[in-house]
Chain A
């Protein structure tokens, strides 16, 4: 058992122990390490100013991903290599930085280190769509045009991180530590699932922190102090994503970015939702299991998981239990999850050829915005008639809802604009949304009604 975490910062090994592990990475960098290039603006992962690269073992090399350092904590960085704007070129100006200078990609400069790191992250992932790469970064000065230009001009020549910082020596230094679990105060990072379950049953209020993308916000904005923290990072077997028959099986540690990659061809309808879901920084850190466990009624993946009939594999002291995602929520943020249980896998039945699937996400801003309303609809039809219809809405109540009456009404009906218009009115009657910062009740009611009409025009003509 180790009582410290070990990480590298710009090539240099650092050990942290005690309360220091609960410090946010951005604070750790700025205050403890005196590296003020990483800027902190929103402290909730929504602006990208604090973006850094995190390298983790992927076979015999380190694989780097861009994340928001304001909502990462030092304990999450055990065995990782953190690269900041100061260390990007190890002293030399990199092509991305040079292009940002030439293209006037920086005005006030406060967002600039974050953009530089996000573009460097694109190069690591071989992402060539600049807009996708910088979705998670806000700039108030430039209007993005020069930054996109700088990205386009530079990623072909940007050096990969393992060329700047050879992986081997770093991996060598962490090798002996990889074999040991970590226990520091109420933080536990076990090596086996059994140990994880045992810890969770002893500490039923512990928080499982994987990506920590919402956990970080609670800590920063609500002064949340977790009773205990469990990390599954050391547990093997939870990071696989595979197709099992007609089911996609997603391990609890699979980041959303990996999930997105996997479903790109399997479920093309999900592409736009995953694209708009969040930034690369969030998708690189957050997991599908985390999105489910967080139980937000406007979680972007949930309506899809509802209509496809996805199930959760919950592992506890008594073994494995399977629960449908749609049955998992007992009320607002209340889960059908026993104290000792951990979500280990998500199993998603893939839509078959005859299925018509449509997903909707309505938000004030198209990308990087929490939804006002979400919907998923899955229709089976024979000729001009509806055999069955599944409708799930989010943002219209305390949990994502299946619309039973609407589904019942549509069953067996002939497909027509009138049918769906009438279904829309029924749908409106099945929900009781609230007014909040993301939209008034009346707006959500209208969206609920219109979504079925939109479905008709999108999928039935």
Chain B
């Protein structure tokens, strides 16, 4: 049996020897062209004139294309509102205007310089505040509501309110966006794309180039990281190379350089949330009103879905009887913000964890006690504001067990003593929770197929719609297939993801690729195994796997099968009535966890060090503990980046200043907590494949404990009022807050 075993990643050997191939590594093809595009240097402008002729005249330039060269020019995963190439108005800095194909990089550079564009620069909207002031939104506000919030505020012992702001985050996948198109016969195209969503790439190429989807094959061998950034936005480069291949009948490849990638692609959504919370003297929440505002950027992209997840995670692990959540996506002149691991969940969860931290600071109580008291429990304290019952709830256990394991009480005492003593440093400690819903909010996306073929020698190929970006989905599927068929792991090969094998696949997203595609693969394998068992029964004896396969072949029994899976039970409705809002059972189950972090902050420089983090999760029964541990540890550190050092800085005209690793700081090995304990509880998940749980996104949210610990540290200089803190808590942000509070304290004391 392989399920539950720590099997190495199925590409590990290729990775460590440099033999794993990515789009940029494929050997150059004969007559291949380099593709790049010219993008707008302005965030908002009208194009007064555009002259590409001088570029065409440059030696080595093979093609120069504008929107006029496309059959259609609109794309988007939800609303098709985004032009691939600018028509008359630029809506964000980095928006593609002209596609260039050339023999050399030098020719590309020369072509870009030769294109003449006259812009009529318009005033851009660059922040959420600006968008609200200008009434600039993407769609209508949505609501999730329960109870009577105003009445509850009126009767609450205390009410606090404030604004929580978080910044964006660049995906910083190591492999930038890339695609390679080769022309086939009679207009057909094959595109190798670094995408989490081959079907969307296929669909958009077909639509924009006027082809049938059946004429376009999109393949994804692997990505050098995706994290959501290649869910919707891998489409753009893929269409560009497909356009060149179609026009010129030559292979065409595009690979963004890192700086361009960071300039032109969307990020995690910045949010600016107004909150008002009512609670009892004991710290029990009675009412919460949250107005969530996200910066959607210039086009819808996945913003409505991201907002939906933020809204369904705004209460996180806590039962709140009266709730009024409103979600509004602002339209700005930033690149369209997009999916990023957590998909709105982190922004919703950080908002409520911030509120709980403030309630504790307001009441002068330990935040752990406040959280524990508000945590989802038994009926009737187990229903979410959108009516889904929290089943198999392990949150109370995770809280108690982690607090014990990490010696929370004693350490909190030590932190208080340290802060009373130290003139140079501050410590903070916080234990936070996560309850992360698993399934796409959009019901129809929760389906997957798998194709399993057994060959004459007994070797097996499996193809699914899941794409491999390092998360180990192929390794898990391989284990599931081997066990279900009863064959050696080495005999199972997970094939390149191809739209030819898995049609109409959903994106590899929402942490659910292994759930969906693994279940589909198990479905196919179960039927194959049943047929093989019949053969076995017929022939008797004790044949080896290889002999059994041969017997089946000679008996003319089909050795191929297609499996299918559609997630049961789930449902979601957005009522148009503003009074009720969204409700249903959007998630098959929840992945849960708690995390406790302790930080040390220098009072004079704001420099923060994470001294210790303890993470305890309920991830069901892992299919591959090694792979899952990788997700837990890696996700936590990526989340730490979001809440600490990863700051996107822009000029006043919307130009991104932090556009490469020199200026944009993702965590380094030295940022890993000095003590870092990551573990999970034994708890089988009865509703998912092999008793497992999805594990991709939830650990990222565990890092919110680091931010809350920083906020807790600040409370020691904030003189009894809740300390305000932006996210990310950079050294600059921390020093400015410390300075502000210290000066205020000195003024009060004076």
Binding site for B on A (CB under 8 A): 30, 34-44, 46-47, 49, 84-86, 93, 96-98, 100-102, 104-113, 116, 130-131, 134-135, 137-148, 217, 221, 223, 360, 362-370, 372, 436-440, 442-443, 446-447, 450-451, 453-454, 457-458
Contact = CB atoms under 8 A, between A and B. Distances in A.
A442 B736 contact: yes
Nearest to A133: B669
Contacts of B626: 104
Nearest to B109: A223
Contacts of A447: 604-605, 735
Q: How large is the interface on B (under 10, 10 to 19, 20 to 34, 35 or more residues)?
A: 35 or more
B17 A97 contact: yes
B135 interface: no
Given A43-B258, A86-B17, A140 B666 contact: yes
20 contacts: A35-B18, A39-B22, A85-B16, A85-B18, A101-B13, A111-B174, A137-B669, A138-B666, A140-B172, A142-B630, A144-B667, A362-B605, A363-B731, A364-B647, A365-B667, A365-B671, A370-B662, A437-B658, A442-B736, A454-B424
Contact of B670 (A106, A223, A366, A436): A366
B661 interface: yes
Interface of B: 8-9, 11-22, 24-25, 27, 109, 171-176, 222-227, 257-259, 423-424, 469-472, 602, 604-605, 607, 609, 626-627, 629-630, 633-638, 645, 647, 649, 657-658, 660-663, 665-672, 676, 730-732, 735-736, 739
Given A101-B13, A454-B604, A439 B670 contact: no
* Among all A-B residue pairs, the 4 with the closest Cβ atoms: A37-B18, A108-B470, A110-B224, A109-B15
B302 to A, nearest CB: 20
Given A104-B8, A366-B609, A439-B732, A36 B633 contact: no
A145 B257 contact: no
Contacts of B14: 109
A107 B472 contact: yes
Nearest to A115: B16
Nearest to A452: B604
Contacts of B732: 364, 372, 439-440, 443
Nearest to A146: B630
B259 A365 contact: no
A159 to B, nearest CB: 15
Q: Is the interface of B mostly helix, strand, loop or mixed?
A: loop
B306 to A, nearest CB: 20
Contacts of A446: 735-736, 739
A106 B668 contact: no
B604 A451 contact: yes
Q: Is the interface of A mostly helix, strand, loop or mixed?
A: loop
Contacts of B634: 107, 140-143
Given A84-B18, A104-B630, A368 B735 contact: no
A46 B662 contact: yes
Contacts of B13: 93, 101
Contacts of B8: 101-102, 104
Nearest to B624: A104
A421 to B, nearest CB: 11
A400 to B, nearest CB: 18
Nearest to A102: B8
B174 A140 contact: yes
Contact of B637 (A44, A96, A144): A144
B423 A457 contact: yes
Contacts of A130: 669
B259 A366 contact: no
Contacts of A457: 423-424, 604
Contacts of B609: 366
Most buried by A among B20, B629, B667: B20
Nearest to A362: B605
Nearest to A144: B669
Given A367-B670, A454-B424, 20 more contacts: A41-B176, A44-B660, A47-B174, A86-B17, A109-B14, A109-B470, A112-B18, A116-B18, A131-B670, A138-B174, A141-B630, A143-B634, A143-B672, A364-B730, A365-B668, A365-B671, A368-B668, A369-B665, A370-B663, A447-B605
Nearest to B472: A107
A205 B225 CA distance: 42
Contacts of A141: 225, 470-471, 630, 634
B680 to A, nearest CB: 15
A305 to B, nearest CB: 22
B669 A148 contact: yes
A101 B12 contact: yes
A364 B663 CA distance: 9
A143 B224 contact: no
Nearest to A417: B423
A135 B635 CA distance: 20
Contacts of A108: 173-175, 222-226, 469-470
Contacts of A30: 25
A36 B133 CA distance: 51
A35 B666 CA distance: 28
A362 B224 contact: no
Given A104-B8, A450-B605, A135 B17 contact: no
A444 to B, nearest CB: 9
